[in-house]
Structure 1
Amino acid sequence: MNDVPANVLEIKGLDVVYSTNRGDVQAVRGINLDVRRGEILGIAGESGSGKSTLAVALLRLLKAPGKVTGGSVIFNPAGRSPVDLLKVHGEELRVLRWSALSYLPQGSMSSLNPVMRVHDQFKDVIVEHAPDRKEAVGDMIPRLLTQVGLEPRVARMYPHELSGGMKQRVLMAIAVALEPDLVIADEPTTAMDVTIQRVILQSLADLRTDFGVTLMVISHDMGVHAQLVDRVAVMYEGQLVEVGDVRQVFKDPQDPYTRQLIESIPQVGRRAS
Structure 2
Amino acid sequence: MSETDDNVLELSGLEVGYATSEGMVTAVDKADLAVRRGEILGIAGESGSGKSTMAVALLRLLKPPGRVLGGSITFRPKDKAPVDLLKVQGQQLRTLRWSNLSYLPQGSMNSLNPVMRIKDQFADVIIEHAPARRSEIDQLVPRLLEQVGLEPRVARMYPHELSGGMKQRILMAICIALEPDVIVADEPTTALDVTIQRVILQSLADLRRDFGVTLIVISHDMGVHAQLVDRVAVMYEGKLVEVGDVRQIFKDPQHEYTRSLIDSIPSIGKEAS
TM-score computed with the length of structure 1 as normaliser: 0.98
Runs of 4+ aligned structure 1 residues displaced above 6 Å come to none
Q: Does 1:93 align with 2:69?
A: no
Match of 2:78, SS state, is coil
| Amino acid across the alignment from 1:106 | Q
Map of 2:130 onto structure 1: 130
CA contact (8 A) 1:4 1:78 kept: no
| Amino acid across the alignment from 2:107 | G
Counterparts of 1:207 and 1:116, CA distance in 2:
26
Map of 2:50 onto structure 1: 50
Aligned residues: 272
Identity %: 75
Map of 1:224 onto structure 2: 224
Counterparts of 1:228 and 1:211, CA distance in 2:
16
Q: Does 1:110 align with 2:119?
A: no
1:53 shift after superposition? 0.3
Q: Does 1:33 align with 2:33?
A: yes
| Amino acid across the alignment from 2:40 | I
Residues 59-103 of structure 1 show CA distances to partners (whole Å, capped at 9, x for unaligned) of 000000100010000000010010000000100000000000000
Stretches of structure 2 that go unaligned for 5 or more consecutive residues are: none
Q: Does 1:142 align with 2:146?
A: no
Match of 1:8, SS state, is strand
Residues 171-212 of structure 1 show CA distances to partners (whole Å, capped at 9, x for unaligned) of 000001000000000000001111000000000000101111
| Amino acid across the alignment from 2:10 | E
Map of 2:11 onto structure 1: 11
Counterparts of 1:171 and 1:51, CA distance in 2:
21
| Amino acid across the alignment from 1:88 | V
| Structure 1 vs Structure 2 CA RMSD | 1.2
Residues 97-151 of structure 1 show CA distances to partners (whole Å, capped at 9, x for unaligned) of 0000000000000000000000000000000000000000111000000000000
| Amino acid across the alignment from 1:231 | R
Stretches of structure 1 that go unaligned for 5 or more consecutive residues are: none
1:271 shift after superposition? 2.0
Note the 1:1-273 alignment, pairs <5 A. 5-273=5-273
| Amino acid across the alignment from 1:150 | L
